[in-house]
């Protein structure tokens, strides 16, 4: 008899606990304080819908921002390549003769392998000329892996004046 009473009492306490949890869920369901979820992918390109935006600190992929004159800030020093823990970055440089007749290193290709990147941000943080940044792009699915190997400096781009 004693165990039967305990059994019934356990059922009641289980139901009470369930209702307590459901009360919290129900409260948020009918009167949410702030809606933080996004209707993706519906809000991707649709006109009239709020455009999907990631938060400021989101790390989508490493990029090399260029000015409107197609200039970047990379001096091809190789620090980002040395600091990257995964071998994600490869900096290929060339030696040019400057206006003063001296040899000067210049960027040929800044290669970034997105599939290997762990988004640790070491490259972005340690670049002495702040040539790298993170974009907000997050749709990285591709059918061909080669598309994940990116050259960050744009064709024909040059070093921004004043960056040494």
Q: Which residue has the tokens 């892996």?
A: 145
Q: Report if residue 84 touches ligand SF4, rule: CB under 6 A.
A: yes
Bond prior to 41 in cis (omega within 30° of 0): yes
Q: Which stretch binds ligand SF4 (CB under 6 A): 12-20, 49-57, 112-120, 154-162?
A: 112-120
CA distance 13 to 19: 10
- Least distance to ligand SF4 from the beta carbon of 64, Å? 7
- Nearest residue to 73 (alpha-carbon basis) of 134, 156, 158: 158
H or E element at residue 82: helix 79-83
CA distance 140 to 48: 25
- Least distance to ligand SF4 from the beta carbon of 151, Å? 13
Residue among 41 and 65 whose Cβ is closer to ligand SF4: 65
Q: Report if residue 63 touches ligand SF4, rule: CB under 6 A.
A: no
Q: Report if residue 77 touches ligand SF4, rule: CB under 6 A.
A: yes
Q: Report if residue 62 touches ligand SF4, rule: CB under 6 A.
A: yes
Q: Which residue has the tokens 């009492």?
A: 9
- Least distance to ligand SF4 from the beta carbon of 69, Å? 18
- Least distance to ligand SF4 from the beta carbon of 39, Å? 30
Residue among 49 and 154 whose Cβ is closer to ligand SF4: 154
Residue among 2 and 161 whose Cβ is closer to ligand SF4: 161
Q: Is 62 helix (H, G, I), strand (E, B) or coil?
A: strand
Q: Report if residue 76 touches ligand SF4, rule: CB under 6 A.
A: yes
Task: Tell me the Ramachandran region of residue 48: left when phi exceeds 0, alpha when psi lies from -120 to 50, beta otherwise.
Answer: left
């Amino acid at each position: 008899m004693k165990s039967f009473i305990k059994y019934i009492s356990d059922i009641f306490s289980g139901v009470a606990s369930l209702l307590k949890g459901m009360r919290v869920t129900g409260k948020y369901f009918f009167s949410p304080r702030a809606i933080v979820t996004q209707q993706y992918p519906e809000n991707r390109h649709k006109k009239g819908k709020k455009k999907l935006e990631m938060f400021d600190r989101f790390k989508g992929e490493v990029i090399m921002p260029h000015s409107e004159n197609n200039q970047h800030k990379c001096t091809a020093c190789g620090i980002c390549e040395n600091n990257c823990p995964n071998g994600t970055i490869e900096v290929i440089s060339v030696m040019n003769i400057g206006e003063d007749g001296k040899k000067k290193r210049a960027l040929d290709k800044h290669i970034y392998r997105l599939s290997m990147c762990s988004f640790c941000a070491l490259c972005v943080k340690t670049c002495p000329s702040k040539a790298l940044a993170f974009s907000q792009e997050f749709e990285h699915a591709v059918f061909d892996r080669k598309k994940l190997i990116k050259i960050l400096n744009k064709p024909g781009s040059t070093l921004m004046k004043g960056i040494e």
